[in-house]
Amino acid sequence: MTWRDGLFIHWPVDPDALRPHIPDQLTLEAWDGRAWLGVLPFVLTNVGVRGTPSITRLAFGELNVRTYVRYRGHPGLFFFSIDVGNAFVAATVGRATRLPVYRARMQVGATQANHVAFHSERQAGETANDVPARFDATYHPDGEVVTADAGTLAHWLTARRRFYAPDAGTVLTGEIAHDPWPLQPATATIHENTMLSANDLPTPTGDPLVHYADEVSMAGSVPRRLEH
């Protein structure tokens, strides 16, 4: 599958405020004493599982809310929500992965080259609480492409290729293989963002760190269950 027109928005948060939202099987990670919450809007095409035909070749938007964890010493991602602008893909991925996948109405357009307008609203009946899950932003790159170096915060936030999903007292894990992200500094105007409050998450304690990533090919594995 192919990722394109993506944005990494990361806010620092108090680890003590975020830790109660992390399943007991996982350990919340911090960088310089701060945990990080990520909101990632992007477009996917040619979606499928590694070694199988594509589920769909149509392009659609996706919006992730995530943080950074370890399981038995191994770093990975933990997703609070994955909003998907394709109902069939949302249902298929949700069943296959046990991840918190929601159907959403999404509109993604370009105001000019590499200037993205992204709007998402979770469909009625899909919300986790009484807060409507909405995100509306425009963004564009405003710097040169770089590959984040190991040992930097940008690398720590973006280089993970494994996710964890607690399920029925055990933990599922899946892997996402891809080349290093072609990161660029970015300018983003967030018109509306209720994704953190819709997931009952704490309010960030600082300004966001923002990166743009244009296009990356990736392959996801079928999740497997780890020994508890």
For 24, other C-beta atoms within 10 Å of its C-beta total 6
pLDDT tens digits along 181-195: 999 999 999 999 999
pLDDT tens digits along 124-139: 777 767 889 999 999 9
Distances (CA, A) of 148 to 3, 30, 115, 152, 175: 18, 18, 22, 7, 20
* pLDDT for the residue numbered 55: 53
CATH architecture of 2-221: Beta Barrel (2.40)
- Name residues of the chain where pLDDT drops below 50: 50-52
Beta strands in 15-95, from DSSP E residues, in sequence order: 27-28, 35-45, 47-48, 54-56, 60-71, 74-84
* pLDDT for the residue numbered 178: 86
Domain ranges of the chain: 2-221
pLDDT tens digits along 93-134: 877 788 999 999 999 998 787 899 999 999 977 776 788 999
* pLDDT for the residue numbered 167: 82
Where helices occur in the chain by DSSP H, the ranges are 15-18, 87-97, 153-158, 195-198
* pLDDT for the residue numbered 129: 75
